[in-house]
Structure 1
């Protein structure tokens, strides 16, 4: 199976951009830790195709926020795939300066539709405001991710998040529901049989019960 077979629905031009990104990724990964070393030989199937699932779920020209962008999965892949449509942008948040430098080079050299914000996630909501969709991959537990996302959800009630999760996702969902209310759609991963993409919308904090407030005092 060739790399193109893994992404049969993209144009030749988009595939060429993805191929250019993979070459840059492999070059930089020799010097900085972008993904788990054990997965470097599976970049197309394990990382590119896995990332491309998000755009396949929602190929609209959205304003994306990609948290903890690291090696560019899924943020750079989404930014490249957005070249297939009119409009749309990806705001990649990465506080590690070496990784942020890689991301900037990747976006510039592939002509992808995105920009890099080298700030901490907890500070990003002040700089990035008009967001329609959020992505994150291999970043944190679901309760922690929702804590990061809720400032944008408070601004936009139609915000949708697409979050990659592994085999323990059910327990993470249960833990998250103790603190947050949200609608949930589970999309089975096309790459990892035990993994899912969680589509989360209408995210809000659960109200603190009166008794809990009293106990806190």
Structure 2
């Protein structure tokens, strides 16, 4: 009788090195933003899926993979304590930051729902699979932001975004939700003061900024209220 030999996949040194780096980074991230064991296990499944899809989809910059937990997951998780409720809309969700991570953080809260808005069809497919394997209460909308916001029922507690657009554009995009009572929670970098100045030219804002727990130069921008400024009028001679 012929015997079939089974071969185990060969693990490259680079894979082993990445495993070790991610294990260390995971410990650092969960020290910064502690979560329950159950939520940590859901995040482990998310990371495993992202690594599986990464070669074909390029979901995150390859250079950030060794610090995936601190650079992306903890950075997203830090918004969870600022959420004023369990209904969230995440704009430009990409690979799930911060929206899918926040949905995982809310997974044990009855009635929680995070709407992930991502027009890229391949990334939207990844987000659907990530929601499935993690059990996150997330709904993926594979369409443009303007079309989605017109259909999402209000009230919504918070609208979030990370690395999507300048603050002025984020306020304009999310205004349909902000005027209905949602709070804006936007992760911004070291140019936040310049962005706030630019945004104030077109909007009257009630804003609080707090330091990021993961980026020394970053800020969490909380927009409690936003109203468009009336166009300035100039008289001719």
Please tell me whether residue 163 in structure 1 is matched to residue 186 in structure 2: yes
The match for 2:92 among 68, 88, 113 is 68
1:132 matched residue in structure 2: 157
Shift of 1:2: 5.7
1:71 shift after superposition: 0.4
Aligned ranges for residues 48-67 of structure 1 at < 5 Å? 48-58=73-83, 61-67=85-91
Question: Aligned partners of 2:192 and 2:52: how far apart in 1?
Answer: 33
1:203 and 2:233 equivalent? no
- CA-atom RMSD in angstroms: 1.6
Q: Does the CA-based 8 Å contact 2:86-2:111 persist in structure 1?
A: yes
Q: Which residue matches 2:20? A: none
**Preserved CA contact (<8 Å) 2:85 2:158:** no
Are residue 27 (structure 1) and residue 21 (structure 2) matched?
no
Instruction: Please give the secondary structure, in 2, of the residue aligned with 1:65.
Output: strand
Is 2:169 the partner of 1:144? yes
Of stretches 120-129 and 1-10 in structure 1, the one that deviates more from structure 2 is: 1-10
CA distance in 2, matches of 1:166, 1:203: 21
Structure 2 contact 85–157 (Cα < 8 Å) conserved: no
How far does residue 125 in structure 1 lie from its aligned partner after superposition? 1.6
Contact map agreement 2:25 2:68 (CA 8 A) in 1 = no
Separation in 2 of the partners of 1:109 and 1:178? Answer: 44
- C-alpha offsets along residues 42-69 of structure 1, whole Å, 9 cap, x if unaligned? 11010000000100223x5421000000
Question: TM-score under structure 2 normalisation?
Answer: 0.84
Q: Does 1:17 align with 2:47?
A: no
How much has 1:6 moved relative to structure 2?
Answer: 2.3
* Structure 1 residues 197 and 190: alpha-carbon distance in aligned structure 2, compared to 1, 3 A threshold: same
Matches within 5 A, 1:58-137: 58=83, 61-130=85-154, 131-137=156-162
CA distance in 1, matches of 2:116, 2:211: 25
Question: Which blocks of at least 5 consecutive residues in structure 1 are unaligned?
Answer: none
Normalised by the length of structure 1, the TM-score is 0.91
List alignment gaps of at least 5 residues for structure 2: 1-23
Cα gap change, 1:151 to 1:185, in 2 (>3 Å): same
Shift of 1:5: 4.9
Greater than 3 Å deviation, 4+ residue runs: none
Cα distance 1:170–1:97, how it changes in 2: closer, same or farther (>3 A)? same
* Aligned counterpart in structure 2 of residue 37 of structure 1, from 36, 41, 62: 62
Which of the numbers 185, 188, 193 marks the counterpart of 2:208? 185
